[in-house]
Structures are given as structure tokens and as C-alpha cells.
Amino acid sequence: MTIAELRTKKNILIVGYGVEGKAVQVFLKKHVPNAHVKVVDQKDGKDYLVKQKEYDLAIKSPGVRPELITIPYTTTTNIFFSNAKGKIIGVTGTKGKSTTTSLIYEMLKKSEKDVYLGGNIGKSPLEFVDTLNEHSWTVLELSSFQLQDVTKSPHIAVLLMIAPEHLDYHKDEIEYVNAKRNILRFQASEDFAIVNRDYPASNESDVHTEGKVFYVSRERETENACFTFGGKVIIRKNGSDNEIIKIEEIKLPGKHNLENVCAAVMAANLAGVAISDIQAILKSFTGLAYRLEYVEEKYGIRFYNDSLATIPEATIEALETFEGQVGTLIAGGFDRGNDYTQLAEYLVKSSVETLILFPTTGEKIWQAVVAAGGEHKLKKFDVNSMHQAVFLASEETTTGKICLLSPAAASFGGFKNYKDRGDQFKQEVLGLA
């Protein structure tokens, strides 16, 4: 919705007062000063939407279910897409969004482009929309919540791996996947789509765009793609190969991150970033906080913070990164209906000796471990605080091994968010005598 269209609305209701709600309130005050603007939030009580029919338009925050809004509505993401100047690169997927988005941003910044970072990472793009010009680039991390209602797609859309998540919010897996695919759905022929070939739900999404499709893979050579082969990252366009970097030179740890590296390389290449600038970032970027983040070594135990791992697949990736080195896994949290069978089967065959588990999914994880035959291989401890968890880890982890916080579950309930969970972990580790 353009600013001109917003100015036709006399009464506007902002639904949700988090980062996005606060940003749109400031935006409206500047650009639609004559409108009567009201803010409501679920914290106001269960009847916070009862008077919405008194308003011409609602501006919905991403976490608010669409069916709760009974009047015409838009979102901060749609407002940004309708008013932003320059080009937008959007990144979505179940895992890897933050890493890939950050890599792309750093590569464009290294190339001295006028580039901005926002969306689900950092700040709301409405905070900087007024500073953009025709030469600007915006790199957005986009969640399924933000994409569910979009009516426009980015110039370069990156679709990473897709696995079931947020099934507490979405009606089912189909709705979740369709929300992700909206990043491609409104592209035109002059746009570009970058699709991960290694996951069926992602790979099968290429039919949903009119843009030029490029692929990403760490498993196979692919035409019009960025892939890993022979220990190298390679871009192949029109049958011609261009070696970007040797894998051993990439600073970012973890095999799974090669998918994110390839996606970022492909996006930066399409945005006109020189190979030398791409290489420079890959040789220096060590990763994000809360994702395979080294904290400290205490009592001969290395502690790693992977609080951003909110699904089982991400925890398996973390364990694979430290294959044979993890002695203790701290996991569990809010139950989003995830299946822990695959994680349990991996744990039974892994080096993990001790499980320290938070409710409520801690019990589901343990039941899956028992079903996989790991009841006598793994020691299990149930905890309700990070202080308990880290103290137990310091007592139970074999010297020379890793204690890994990789929850495979959301943080809600026991913690404010994944950052709070990770920060508490780091604080407790650093506080060990």
C-alpha cells in the first residue's frame, strides 16, 4: 500500500506493538499525519480486537493470524515493498535465513553499494525506507509470518531449505510452505529466483515464479547454479564454470552452511558484486551469535551456544558440525508439534553421552530416544532453569568434549526468545568458577 493510498484512510488500527508496530506508528505519524491512529496489542486482553470495525484499515503485525482481522488490512512488509526505492533482495527458508541475509549484506557492503539490512533480522525496513534512492539495495530476512500476506516479491528472491516449523501458527505444513513460496509468486520476468535444489519443498517451488531461476546445491552439479564440487564453490552459468573459492578457505563452520554460502554467493553475483569482494567476506565471516557460537572453555569442556536451533533438523546439523566431539546436549523447550524421531535416531549413533532437557519437548525428545533404543546409552536430566542446565553440564560432560546448547525447540515459556535463552546460557557458562 503506497503512502498516497494510506492517506485516504481516516482511521487506522495498528495491531501488535512489537518492533514492526512501533516502526509503522512512527511512519504513519510522518507520512499520514491527519489520520486517527490507534494501537492495540494482545497484551491488552482477549477483547483487544473487539472495536476493529470502527477503523478503515488495520496494519497487522506478522505474528497476528489473518483471520483475526475482519476489516481491510495491510502489513509493514507490504507498505515497504510499495514505497521502497532501489532493489530488494529477500531471503526466506526454515533455517539459514539470518546467516544468508548477513552474508549477502556484507558482500554488497564490501562492494561499496548503498545497502541496508532489515526484516526479521535487525530493524524494521520502515525505519530506513525514507533514506533509499534508486541505487539503493535492501537485504531482507523474511519469515513465513511476513510473507503470508505479501502482494509483491523481491527483485532477487532466495528460497533456502524448507522443513516443517511454526505449525503452532500455521494451519498445516501446506499453508507454511505456501507462505514461503510467496517470496517468488509475484516476481516478473526481469527478476531472479534462487532456489535450494537439495530439499523437495524448495526445489519444487521454481514453478511459482516468472523470474529467471538459479539453483543452489551442496550435493550435485547443476546448470545455472552455485554449488559445491571437488572442494570448491562454483558458479555455473550457460555451461561455463567460475570457481569462487576453495571450501577450506571459508571461515564459516558447518557443512550445512555451504548451502547458505552458495545462496549468498549466487545473490551477490546477480547483484553485480565482484568475485574478489565475495571471497573477502567468505574468508572473514565467522557466523552469527546464537548459531554455533563458541562461548568459553571451562574444566576442559568447550561450551557452544546454538540457541537459534529451534527445530530438530538444525540441531542435527549442529551435531554433524561437531561430529564425534559433543558429550552433552542441552535441548528442549516450547512444543510446536515437531517430530523428534530423526533427532533421536541420530543421538543414539552419536558421541553424545548426556542429555539435559527442558520442558515441554524434553519429554518428547526422551520418548523418541527410548523408542530408538537409546535409553541405556544416554544419561538424561530434566531441568527448569539454565543455571541447573549449565551446572549439570559442567559436572557430567567428559573433559575434552563439547557441551552444546542446541534446543531443537522454540524458546517461549521459559525464556523471552532465543536470544534471551542464549544469553542466559553464556552468562551461566562464564559464571562457572
Please report whether residue 229 resides in a domain.
yes
Clarify whether residues 252 and 224 are in a common domain. Answer: yes
**Using CA atoms, how far apart are residues 212 and 349, in angstroms rounded to an integer?**
42
pLDDT number for residue 414:
87
Tell the residue number behind the cell numbers 564440487, with chain if given: 229
- Tally the domains of the chain: 3
Instruction: Check residue 256 and give its pLDDT.
Output: 85
* Same-domain status, 44 and 92: no
Domain boundary among 76, 98, 118: 76
Strand order in the sheet with 379-382: 293-298, 301-305, 402-405, 326-332, 354-358, 379-382
pLDDT value of residue 164: 59
pLDDT confidence of residue 126 = 97
DSSP 274: -
Domain match, 409 and 374 both: yes
- Residue segments in the chain with a per-residue pLDDT below the cut of 70: 164-172
Residue at 288 is within a domain: no
Report the candidate in 80, 85, 84, 93 with the shortest Cα–Cα distance to residue 119.
Answer: 80
What's the pLDDT at 253?
Answer: 86
Residue 419 lies in a domain: yes
The answer to whether the beta carbons of residues 242 and 275 sit under 8 Å apart is yes
Query: 76, 99, 115 — which closes off a domain?
Result: 76
**What letter represents residue 218's amino acid?**
R
Could you tell me if 107 and 237 lie in one domain?
yes
Nearest to 94 by CA among 43, 59, 142: 142
Q: Which residues contact 118 (CB under 8 A, 6 or more apart)?
A: 124, 125, 127, 128, 138, 139, 140, 141
Q: Output the pLDDT for position 181.
A: 95
Residue 197, phi then psi, degrees to nearest 5: -80, -15
Residue 286 one-letter amino acid: T
Q: What is the CATH number of the domain that holds 398?
A: 3.90.190.20
Residues 233 and 324 in one domain: no
Do both 266 and 332 map to the same domain?
Answer: no
37 plus 90 within the same structural domain? no
335 and 406, same domain (yes or no): yes
- Strand order from edge to edge, sheet including 57-60: 36-40, 11-15, 57-60, 73-75
pLDDT value of position 407? 97
Tell me whether residue 101 is in a domain. yes
Residue 56: C-alpha distances to residues 12, 41, 45, 209 (Å): 6, 18, 22, 33
Q: What is the pTM of this model?
A: 0.82
Q: How large is the greatest C-alpha to C-alpha distance in the chain, in angstroms?
A: 68
What pLDDT is stored for residue 121 in this prediction?
Answer: 83
Do 119 and 142 fall within a single domain? yes
231-278 pLDDT, tens per residue? 999 999 998 999 999 999 999 988 889 999 999 999 999 999 999 999
Question: Do residue 167 and residue 213 come from a single domain?
Answer: yes
With respect to residue 287, please indicate whether it lies within any of the assigned structural domains. Answer: no
CA distances (Å), 307 to each of 137, 151, 336, 411, 415, in order? Answer: 30, 32, 16, 8, 11
Query: Which residues neighbour 243 within 8 Å (Cβ) at sequence distance 6 or greater?
Result: 232, 233, 234
Distances (CA, A) of 210 to 155, 179, 184, 216: 11, 17, 8, 18
Domain holding 234: CATH number?
3.40.1190.10
Parent domain of 392: 293-430
Distance (Å, whole) CA 269 – CA 237: 11
Indicate whether 102 and 64 sit together in one domain: no
Q: Helix 257-270 crosses helix 275-282 at what angle (to 10 degrees)?
A: 150
Domain stop point among 282, 303, 333: 282
The answer on 120 and 55 residing in a single domain is no
